[in-house]
């Protein structure tokens, strides 16, 4: 009985937050992704340069994401960071799968069943030197790079493009070295 009550409360909370997000989203045009992603080129290690603050990365510094293509077409995901308090490595493994095979730019990612989230590639460097990932409700945003540091001019241009896509650059926290700058909760 307790499990049913917990599931009912969780479902109610999920519906409440998604309805609120849907109302806000209805005022914005649909989020556009890049035209095409070559998953073989996208695979590998990415360094997080900046992100919207979120609860599951609170206290993370030096975040990286590693993507490895699997034989079944899915993608192994390993996210790691250094804990800001004790310096230990935090690591989580998951999987991703393409939901828009025409572009490979819209994926779902899951780190534990049954939860999954959108992973939309909304900006991508011509040489796959950077990527910007967001969600269609504009609740989450990450700026990734193949190198741990990004040129300020490139970063500024990305911030302008994400603003045009309906994201708020004022909410973004940028990691400089191992120190977060911005609105970290």
Would you place residue 34 in the very low, low, confident or very high pLDDT band (cuts 50, 70, 90)?
Answer: very high
Residue 19: per-residue pLDDT: 39
Instruction: Report the chain's mean pLDDT, rounded to a whole number.
Output: 84
The two counts, helices (H) then strands (E), for the chain are 3, 10
* Beta strands per DSSP E along 99-181: 106-112, 115-124, 130-134, 141-145, 173-176, 179-181
Q: Convert the pLDDT of each residue in 47-56 to its tens digit.
A: 999 999 988 8
Averaged pLDDT for residues 161-175: 95
Supply angle C-alpha 119, 69, 104, rounded to 5.
40
Q: Considering only the top CATH level, what class is 39-181?
A: mainly beta
Residue 33 DSSP code: -
Rg (CA), the chain: 17
Residue 7 above 80 pLDDT?
A: no
Q: Where are the domains of the chain?
A: 39-181
pTM higher than 0.85: no
Residue 177: per-residue pLDDT: 56
Please state, as a whole number, how many other Cβ atoms lie within 10 Å of the Cβ of residue 54: 14
Dihedral, CA atoms, 55, 59, 62, 63, nearest 10 degrees? -20
Residue 128: per-residue pLDDT: 98
Higher per-residue pLDDT: 14 or 139: 139
């Amino acid at each position: 009985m307790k499990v049913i009550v917990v599931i009912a409360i969780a479902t109610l909370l999920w519906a409440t937050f998604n309805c609120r997000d849907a109302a806000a989203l209805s005022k914005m045009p649909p989020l556009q992704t890049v035209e095409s992603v070559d998953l073989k080129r996208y695979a590998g290690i990415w360094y997080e340069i900046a992100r919207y603050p979120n609860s599951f990365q609170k206290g993370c510094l030096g975040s990286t994401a590693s993507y490895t293509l699997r034989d079944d077409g899915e993608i192994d995901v390993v996210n790691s960071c250094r804990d800001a308090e004790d310096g230990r490595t935090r690591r989580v493994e998951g999987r991703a799968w393409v939901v828009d095979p025409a572009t490979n730019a819209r994926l779902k990612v899951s780190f534990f069943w049954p939860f999954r989230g959108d992973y939309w590639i909304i900006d991508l460097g011509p040489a796959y030197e950077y990527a910007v990932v967001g969600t269609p409700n504009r609740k989450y945003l990450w700026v990734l790079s193949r190198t741990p540091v990004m040129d300020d001019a490139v970063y500024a241009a990305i911030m302008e493009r994400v603003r045009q896509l309906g994201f708020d650059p004022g909410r973004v926290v940028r990691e400089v070295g191992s120190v977060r700058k911005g609105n970290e909760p």
